Amino acid sequence: MTRMHRILLVALLFSGLAIAQTAPTLKTRPPAKPAASADAAAGTTVLPSEDTVSSFLFQMFGHDPTVSWKVNEIRPSEVPGLAEVTVVVTNAQGPSLNRLLVSSDGKHVIVGDILPFGAKPFEDARVKLEKGVNGPAKGPAKASVTIVEFSDMQCPHCAKAAPVIDQLLAQEPEARFVFQSFPLPAHDWAEKAAGYVDCVGRASNDAVWKFIQKTFEDQANITAANADEKLKAVATASGANADEIAACAAKPDTKARIEASVALGKSVGVTGTPALFVNGRNVPSGAPIDLLKKIADFQASQK
């Protein structure tokens, strides 16, 4: 999901573009009562129920059935007192994952990003990423700049961002780049592809970059029904043993590695893809190459 998608959700919430409830029963159900505020007053993050979130969106936007949505996850955010609610919104452009931040008193919602603050606002994320990355990497291990991308092989925005990232790495030859999988729940073959990326990467660091590029190139031709066939063909074309990779991708430990990658992304605020971090700083994935280079050079100077 790009920043434009988040801007779209703001528009959905405040300009009147409707989000239709996919569960018809909610059209006659009164809004659920917000959680009691006693816990909020005590400093505990109170999570809204899925019914409360659904009723809120239905009451605001239930008059128009042209856009569908689904509550994906409700959990405490990194900011005490705020619950993080992720919602999959589907419109003519396809599905996107969006974040709502709900106050513990159940009376307010914020749409958008939570930005780190302080003298070194990106240090916590930098350390988390340095310790937690498990994806394929290239570049010097002790580089002054580490670029981490959270990506989804089924995400068209990720495919479009890939050449820009390659261009950035060509201009920053001393940078280290790590590719982390972050399959979105709305994409029906992304998790399988993430398993292939993980297994190809562990088998051959040369083959994995070819695999990622070729999968993006063939993205429009891959479906949930033919994913194994297509991904095995891409693995073969990339120089990997397709049967071994397919077997590896289906193993529980591979699934656990993908889940760890997603959890790492969430811990640094990732809600959609592509998400790009330069020494812990989350930068716009759609930014022009000259801006990305300036940020990379600046971050290198801060070491």
CATH 3.10.450.50 for domain 123-301, yes or no, is no
Domain locations along the chain: 3-111, 123-301
What pLDDT is recorded for position 139?
94
Element (H, E) at 103: strand 94-103
Beta partners for 102?
83, 109
What pLDDT is recorded for position 55?
82
What pLDDT is recorded for position 158?
95
Report the Cα 119 to chain-centroid distance in Å.
26
Strand 275-278 vs strand 281-283: parallel, antiparallel, or unpaired? antiparallel
pTM: 0.76
pLDDT < 70: residue spans in the chain: 1-43, 59-62, 64, 303
The DSSP secondary structure of 178-219, one letter per residue, reads EEEE---TT-SSHHHHHHHHHHHHHH-HHHHHHHHHHHHHTG
Residue 287 burial by CB count (10 A; 0-12/13-18/19+): exposed, middle or buried? middle
Q: Which two tokens stand for residue 279?
A: 């020494």
Element (H, E) at 20: strand 20-21
pLDDT tens per residue across span 60-107: 666 767 778 889 889 998 888 899 998 877 777 777 777 899 999 999
